[in-house]
Amino acid sequence: MSFTVIGAPLSPFVRKVHITMQLKNIEFTMEPVSPFALPEGYEKINPVKRIPVLKHDDTYICDSAVICQYLEDLCPEPQLIPEAPLAKARVAWFEKLADTELAPAIAATAFRHRVIYRSMGKPFDEAEIDAVIEEKAPPLYDYFNEAIGSGDFLVGEQFSLADIAVITQFINASLGGELVDDQRWPNLGRYVAMHFASETFAPSIAGAQKMVGKMLAAAS
Ligand SMILES: N[C@@H](CCC(=O)N[C@@H](CS)C(=O)NCC(=O)O)C(=O)O
């Protein structure tokens, strides 16, 4: 059984898959592919031309949510998606919010522009990015802040794919200089800081910071 993760290591969606595989002790190799310079014929692997894609032996599986569900089915330990219908639905909902709402609000803005575009020498409008974050992030932060309350996880008392999906987007936001205001969102600020410092995420963050540092230094 061989696994290859196709994608860019700095992508939050790729990181989500990496963390899931590391927690489940699934060995994989990485095939680096930039979403900005996809290899010819990539649309045959993924017609919407996005990363990540997981290659399991000879079969390609697209989309981080689908990949993570597949990994859970294949290797149920440690459990990252609860079986109880309500908890499972809550995890799916937070993952969807992270992938489709949080990502465009804080990662495709702060990280993509201030790190990727800057490293490529591509111009961007800082005020435009600030405006998108300002409009889209606070309602999501309010909602997460409420859901977390005084706990450590988004769903129940258990670490889950919901936490991986949300934290990986916050990692990219932080790489782009966008941090949670913990005066305004104390539960969310505490939650993000705690997971950033955890052994699950800290090594991944340190590696990403190093990579970003090199990219920005080479561009300046
Ligand atoms: N829903 C997809 C989103 C993946 C995604 O948007 N990846 C970005 C890189 S972080 C990408 O491939 N962007 C290229 C594009 O949208 O054309 C997933 O969860 O895998």
Listing DSSP states for 34-81 in one string gives: -TTSPPTTGGGT-TT--S-EEEETTEEEESHHHHHHHHHHH--SS--S
pLDDT at residue 30 above 90? yes
pLDDT at residue 64 above 90? yes
From residue 10, alpha-carbon distances to 51, 59, 152, 196 in Å are 11, 24, 25, 16
pLDDT at residue 220 above 90? no
Protein residues with CB under 6 Å of any ligand 1 atom: 11-13, 35, 49-52, 63-65, 99
pLDDT value at residue 164:
99
Instruction: Tell me if residue 7 falls in helix, strand or coil.
Output: strand
| Closest atom of ligand 1 relative to the 100 alpha carbon | 1
For atom 2 of ligand 1, the residue with the nearest CA is 63
pLDDT value at residue 1:
83
| Mean pLDDT of all residues in 209-216 | 97
Q: Which of 81, 77, 78, 85 is nearest to 66 (CA)?
A: 81
| Mean pLDDT of all residues in 79-85 | 98
- Residue 122 CA, ligand 1 centroid: distance in Å: 19
| Mean pLDDT of all residues in 82-109 | 98
Q: Which domains does the chain have, with CATH numbers?
A: 3-74 (3.40.30.10), 85-219 (1.20.1050.10)
Site of tokens 């290859």 = 4
pLDDT bucket at 106, cuts 50 / 70 / 90: very high
pLDDT at residue 118 above 90? yes
- Residue 108 CA, ligand 1 centroid: distance in Å: 10
pLDDT value at residue 200:
98
Beta bridge partners of 59: 56
Least confident span in 120-124, 141-145, 212-216: 120-124
| Mean pLDDT of all residues in 16-25 | 98
- Residue 51 CA, ligand 1 centroid: distance in Å: 5
Candidate from 6, 48, 51 with most ligand 1 atoms within 8 A of CB, to mutate: 51
Tell me if 106 sits within 8 A of 133, measured CB to CB: yes
d(CA 52, CA 31): 10
